[in-house]
Amino acid sequence: MPALRPLSLITGASAGIGAAFARELAARGHDLVLVARRTDRLQALAEDLHQRHGAQAHVLPADLADPTAPRQLVDALQKQGLTVDWLVNNAGYGVPGTFDASDWPVHADFLQVLLNAPTELAWRLLPGMRERGYGRIVNVASLAGHVPGSAGHTLYAASKAYLIKFSQSLALENRHHGVHVCALCPGFTWSEFHDVTGTRALVGKLPRFMWQDADTVVREGIEAVERGEPVHVTGRVNRAIKALAKLTPDRLALWLSARESRRYRQLD
């Protein structure tokens, strides 16, 4: 059974889906560990959640592009005597343009944040969850991990596909230990993501029915991990896209991906 007030660690908690997770979990009686680079935003969010829900929110600023950050975060938790019941690996971003358009350190930082950091945090926090017989791990992946790769943002879909497979294996290994693992796979979500990548004007041309708000995505994710669902694609439209992608022959799927990439990917 979880603690009276479970403790949830959320990466990328300063905005978007991460902040929505913080709001929803606080409303459900969780205390929080908020992790991101922007200390001012984390502190403002922590104060708001304490006033609204009585949640105790610990602010731990960190740059997950630093390979030492996951270990330092867990060390800081241990020093404060905090045990994590929920881990939400949400931190992420996109690198616009083609693969050769960015220097290697840019890609190295991306891989550290989207692959290494969530994997290491799960590895460091999972033993305590298993020992206590309760835990929840949500890896925020993407519909992009289920469909053919696109030109531009070259590593994004690949990293999300990794999180999906990783979550499936981790879920199978821990389902008899009271630990549920879920790869949450939203499609286009209203957030700062596309502003940061500079693709807001492009994706803004997509029809509104393809979009979800972050709060809806988060509620679906929480319900899915509680059910023990290893992978959850949010929204009927996104689930239909996933199903069509699986049924479409590879050559046709790649042709469609190449055509559609121009609508929402920066290719220079």
The encoded tokens of residue 248 equal 């479409």
**What is the bridge-based pairing of β-strands 7-11 and 31-36?**
parallel
Helix (H) or strand (E) holding 86: strand 86-89
Cα 18 to Cα 135: distance, rounded to the nearest angstrom? 18
Catalytic residue among 93, 134, 156, 162: 156
- Cβ-based neighbours of 21, under 8 Å, separated by 6 or more: 8, 10, 13, 88, 90, 138, 218, 221, 222
Strand partners of residue 35:
11, 60
d(CA 191, CA 90): 13
Q: Is 264 one of the catalytic residues?
A: no
Across the strands, what pairs with 34?
10, 59
Per DSSP, the three-state class of 131 is helix
Between the CA of residue 94 and those of 27, 160, 197, 209, 233, what are the distances in Å? 30, 11, 6, 23, 20
Q: What is the DSSP string of 194-215?
A: HHHHT-HHHHTTS-GGGEEEHH
Length of the chain: 268
Which residue, chain included where needed, has tokens 């960190």? 62
List residues with catalytic annotation. 156
